[in-house]
Chains A and B, each alone.
Chain A
Amino acid sequence: MEDRILMKGNHAVGEGAIRAGCQAYFGYPITPQNEITAYMAKRMLEEERVFIQAESEIAAINMVFGASLAGARAMTSSSSPGISLKQEGISYMVGCELPGVIVNIQRGGPGLGNISGAQGDYFQATRGGGHGDYYLIVLAPASVQEMFDLTREAFDLADKYRNPVIILADGILGQMLEPVRIEKKKPVLSFTTKKEWILDGCKGREPRMIRSLLMEEGVLEEHNWKLNKKYEKMKTSEVRVETDNLEDAELALVGYGTSARICNEAMKAARRKGIRVGLIRPITLWPFPEKVIAENVRKLKAFLAIEMSLGQMVEDVRLAANGKCPVYFYGKPGSGIPEVNVIVDRIEKILK
């Protein structure tokens, strides 16, 4: 029998962090991610690690900044409005080359929006989000198992590149219950590994400085070029995507997270009708899996992007298709959920 336990998505995020050796977690209440903070309050205490309920989202991300520069694996989680507040801190972390994991259990916006799942923060996550010219690896889980797996792996990616990593999920994934296999896999980089750049007091070495203010002429440009090398490396090494039924497909649905699950149902419904539909599910939203789109532009008659938004990821699909294959969109904003029968209907119309 498989060793699986029934878990809520938000709890799986928390356990993934624990298993990755997250040494410090800083949270602030906001729905629909509260279970992560409550779970971490309990588990971090058990593991004798650092937990603080911060006074704000802003303080929480800056505590992550502090814990990270002290060498700890650190995480914060929130939902859309709170993630907006963290953007300044994330920008500073990138500027200072500090690793860290930020979890966004997206809810509907703009403004206070609502507390249901949505996918309106794609642009914010994949285009840096804060001020300045930068990118982060953005991981998009589509199941509770992936909430666990990708959170755990996010810490390795953050340390590997000394850059923050975002988990972009949504309220549906956060609240749903599914069986999860907790593998006893060790993190790639041990969290006890000595990081040679941290501030821990200058005993036996020259003092170090961690900062993002670079006023001398040309130095900031140089710094940005150096950071860009990391982004380029991420683009060549870290793209993750899952494809299904592309071999004989005439049309490919493209969707991530909760939308990918809906796409999967729509693909099956279309196939039952004899329509040859495939699925492309980006797991990294940045770097975006451009190659798999570009490779299929001649074979396919069309792409159809499905999102719980007014259409954000669809722009990346269009960029990758580069005008060589039509790209259509169907989505619902403000926590609206795309419907399977509507998707099948669209597919039939597009292929007619």
Chain B
Amino acid sequence: MKKLFSRPESLRAKGNLYCPGCGHGIVHRLIAEVIDELGIREKTIGVAPVGCAVFAYDYWNFDVTEAAHGRPPAVATGIKRVFPDRIVFTYQGDGDLAAIGTAETVHVANRGENITIIFVNNGVYGMTGGQMAPTTLIAQKTATTPLGRDPKIAGYPIKISEALGQLEGSVYIERVAVNSAKNTIKAKRAIKKAFQTQIDNKGFSLVEVLSMCPTGWEISPVEALKWIEEKMVRTFPLGVIKDKTYL
């Protein structure tokens, strides 16, 4: 009988630790599929973050480490400089990448490190109970913005991918979402292109993935899919932000 669907070799058979409707499982799987398809499982080293996705290492079937909160880009830099021929990527949430680790994020891109960042933007700190993230939308209610994010008090949702696109060291940056089959296919294409950019030694690549956190947003999983389409995409438009891979 013809096999139509199976678990990628880069993904372990492991029970789901994430909440119902969470986007992390989809993103984990997309990365695993891409790594399989590119045939790089045995030369890939992943760096897991602090946050919900700290458990990424339980799912991936290749070498994985875990960095301190915000420090994956520095850890990835250390690994990549020692092993320029390995594929090194970080998996980071919005708090990790765009708040506590902003300096590491900016400078890894500015150095043009030949690594890949998969940046999962769900607009809240999930692991710690739904606090405001740097990417929380204006008026969005969180545990620490009970009346909604007021820019006068808490600033604006940070468009870090656009900012990184301004740096000469960055090569490929795209924003995608995993809230529909169509968007998920596009997300996989972007993740594959990011890894290919690294394989081709072209330099720094980052894919920002808008992802669902129904628990943090306090809505149902189905509403969360719509929320990305109707609210999040307005502040964080999907598409290619920078592409110098033709060079």
Interface residues, chain A, with chain B CB atoms under 8 Å away: 23-24, 26, 50, 52, 54-56, 58-60, 62-72, 74, 88-89, 92, 96, 199-204, 207-213
Stretch of B69-77, B151-159, B182-190, B226-234 contacting A (4+ beta carbons < 8 Å): B69-77
Q: Which residues of B contact A58 (CB under 8 A)?
A: 71, 74, 103-104
Beta-carbon contact of A70 and B82 below 8 Å: yes
Contact of A26 among B48, B66, B78, B80 (CB under 8 A): B78
Is the Cβ of B68 less than 8 Å from the Cβ of A64?
A: no
Q: List 22 A-B contacts (CB under 8 A).
A: A23-B82, A24-B78, A26-B78, A50-B81, A54-B74, A54-B107, A59-B77, A62-B67, A62-B71, A63-B78, A66-B78, A66-B79, A67-B82, A68-B78, A69-B78, A72-B78, A199-B45, A203-B42, A207-B60, A209-B63, A210-B64, A211-B57
The smallest C-beta distance from B45 to any residue of chain A, in angstroms, reads 5
- Per the bound structure, the CA–CA distance linking A50 and B83 in Å amounts to 10
Q: Is the CB of A63 within 8 A of B61?
A: no
| A-B complex: 3 closest residue pairs judged by Cβ atoms | A66-B78, A62-B74, A67-B78
Q: Are B86 and A201 in contact (CB under 8 A)?
A: yes
Docked CA distance A92–B71 (Å)? 11
A213 to B45, CA, bound (A): 18
> Which residues of the partner chain B approach A201 to less than 8 Å between Cβ atoms?
42-45, 62-63, 83, 86
Return chain A residues, CB-CB under 8 Å to B67: 62, 65-66, 92
B44 shortest CB reach to chain A, Å: 6
Query: Are A62 and B66 in contact, CB atoms less than 8 angstroms apart?
Result: no
- Knowing A26-B78, A58-B74, A74-B78, say if A200 contacts B61 (CB, 8 Å): no
A92: chain B residues at CB < 8 Å are 67-68
B41 CB–A CB distance under 8 Å: yes
List the A side residues contacting B143 at CB < 8 Å.
Answer: none
1/0 per residue B31-47: CB within 8 Å of A? 00000000001111101
Chain B interfacial residues counted at CB < 8 A: 35
Closest to B60 in A: A207
B145 within 8 A of partner (CB) = no
- Chain B residue numbers with a CB within 8 Å of A23 are 82
On whether the beta carbons of B83 and A64 are closer than 8 Å, the reply is no
Q: How many A-B residue pairs have CB under 8 A?
A: 126
| CA distance in complex: A67, B47 (Å) | 13
Find out whether the CB atom of A88 lies under 8 angstroms from the CB atom of B62. no
Query: Bound state CA distance, A63 and B71, in angstroms?
Result: 9
Which residue of A has the minimal Cβ distance to B106?
Answer: A55
Q: Tell me, yes or no, whether B65 is within 8 Å of chain A by CB.
A: yes
B66 touching A212 by the CB < 8 A rule?
yes
Task: Please state if B74 and A66 are interface contacts (CB–CB under 8 Å).
Answer: yes
What separation, in Å, do the CA atoms of A69 and B72 have in the docked complex?
Answer: 13
Tell me if A70 and B83 are in contact (CB < 8 A): yes
Let me know if A213 and B54 touch, CB within 8 A: yes
On whether the beta carbons of B57 and A209 are closer than 8 Å, the reply is yes
User: Contact between B83 and A200 (Cβ–Cβ < 8 Å)?
Assistant: yes
How far does the alpha carbon of A62 sit from the alpha carbon of B80 in the complex, in Å?
13
Nearest residue, chain A, Cβ from B65: A210
Q: State how many angstroms separate the Cβ of A132 from the closest Cβ of chain B.
A: 12
A74 to B82, CA, bound (A): 10
Contact A72 B82 (CB under 8 A): yes
Chain A residues near B79 (CB-CB < 8 A): 66-67, 69-70, 199
Which one of A63, A200, A211 lies within 8 Å of B77 (CB-CB)?
Answer: A63
B103 touches A59 (CB 8 A): yes
Q: Assess the A202–B78 pair: CB atoms within 8 A.
A: no
Q: How far is the CA of A52 from the CA of B79 in the complex (A)?
A: 13
Residues of A within 8 Å of B54, CB to CB, are 213
> With A200-B83, A213-B54 in contact, is A62–B68 under 8 Å at CB?
yes
Report the Cα distance A202→B65, complex, angstroms.
13
**Identity of the chain B residue whose Cβ is nearest the Cβ of A88 in the assembled complex:** B68
Inter-chain contact A210/B74, CB cutoff 8 Å: no
Query: How far does the alpha carbon of A92 sit from the alpha carbon of B47 in the complex, in Å?
Result: 14
Asked whether, in the complex, the Cβ of A59 is within 8 Å of the Cβ of B43, the reply is no
CB contacts (< 8 Å) of A52 on chain B: these are: 77, 81, 111
Query: In the bound complex, what is the Cα–Cα distance between A212 and B45 (angstroms)?
Result: 17
- Does B75 contact A62, Cβ atoms closer than 8 Å? yes
Q: Which of A55, A67, A203 contacts B81 (CB 8 A)?
A: A67
Given A52-B77, A201-B42, 4 further pairs, Cβ under 8 A? A24-B81, A209-B57, A210-B65, A210-B66
In Å, the complex CA distance between A69 and B66 comes to: 11
- In the assembled complex, the CB of B62 is this many whole angstroms from the nearest CB of chain A, namely 5
Q: Which of B45, B63, B75 lies in contact with A65, CB distance below 8 A?
A: B75
Residues of B within 8 A of A209 (CB): 57, 63-65
Complex-state Cα separation, A204 to B62, whole angstroms:
11
- Known A203-B43, A208-B63: A59·B82 in contact at CB below 8 Å: no
Residues of chain A contacted by B48 (CB below 8 angstroms) = 211
Residues of B within 8 A of A65 (CB): 67, 71, 74-75, 78
- Closest Cβ of chain B: how far from A141's Cβ, in Å? 26
Most A CB within 10 A of own CB, among B43, B47, B60, B83: B83
The chain A residue with its CB closest to the CB of B110 is A55
Nearest chain-B residue to A69 (Cβ)? B65
B60 to chain A minimum Cβ distance, whole angstroms, is 8
**Cα–Cα, bound, A202→B12 (Å):** 14
Q: A64-B78, A211-B65 are in contact. Are A59 and B83 (CB under 8 A)?
A: no
* Interface contact A200-B63, CB-CB below 8 Å: yes
Assembly CA distance A74 to B83 (angstroms): 14
The reply to whether B75 and A66 contact each other, CB–CB distance below 8 Å, is yes
A50 touches B82 (CB 8 A): yes
